[in-house]
Amino acid sequence: MHPVYTEIKQALSGFYPETEAAAMARWILTDLFHFGTLDLYAGKDTDFPTDERARLNNILTRLKSYEPLQYIIGETRFSGLPFEVTPSVLIPRPETEELVSWIVEDHPDVPVRILDIGTGSGCIPVSLAHRLPLSTVHAWDVSPEALEVARRNAIRNGVTVHFQQVDALQESWPSLNIDVLVSNPPYITEKERTDMERNVLDWEPELALFVPDNDPLLFYRHIARIGLDLLSPSGTLYYEINRAYGAETVSLLQQLGYHSVELRKDLSGNDRMVKAVKP
């Protein structure tokens, strides 16, 4: 391996597990310093130019403060597409890709009207607009900073998404007629803070993460009510959920009148997604 790869791993030792440090070292050298496979694995001892060395040292300093590498780089990939990410938005997770794929599988090659609530980086609506090109896609978020990032991601990926600043917890909302409502809302309870990694807790936006301990289904209840108003007959609601509240989320939707409620696990075996049909 290239000596700088070993240097990065050693610098991050004690801050991250060995496998994570190794993955970061590869990512830094290939994505930021444009190392090819031969450069990385042949072990050729090539000195960094001074300006590159300073850049690498800055990256390592930021990683040691547990700043996510995606924020340092300024982008990540989701559903095969590049997305800008900043501390104004959550870093997209693989589990959310599974949610997007579920929607695509259910609506192949048909025009469908979609609304994403709590869009963040725009990863869900942009990916759906890309993979379902006959669709019309809307997206809401309460954060103007997040919406600016999402708009740039739509432009970057060459799709049209209609963004609006909307608070999902308000008692009124814009009028739309949609076939699919999707949301990955805040769902981490305050009591779960102690189990979270510092790179999430210290850096990602709390507004997009947390709900009160006494009302963990707060957003799911409000968004389901929006769905009852905006979804077309037999329209479909999709959620990403807190794995600890799968049964409770299913029960909530059934109590509100939704039917054919399906709870699905993610690739790690955790309850992670729910689909329900409007009555």
Residue list, annotated binding site for S-adenosyl-L-methionine? 118-122, 141, 184
Tokens representing residue 47 in the block: 């000195």
DSSP 200-218: HHTTS-GGGTEE-TT-TTH
Enumerate the known binding-site residues.
118-122, 141, 184-187
d(CA 87, CA 101): 26
Helix (H) or strand (E) holding 246: helix 246-255
d(CA 185, CA 221): 11
Tokens representing residue 248 in the block: 């409770």
Enumerate the known binding-site residues for substrate.
184-187
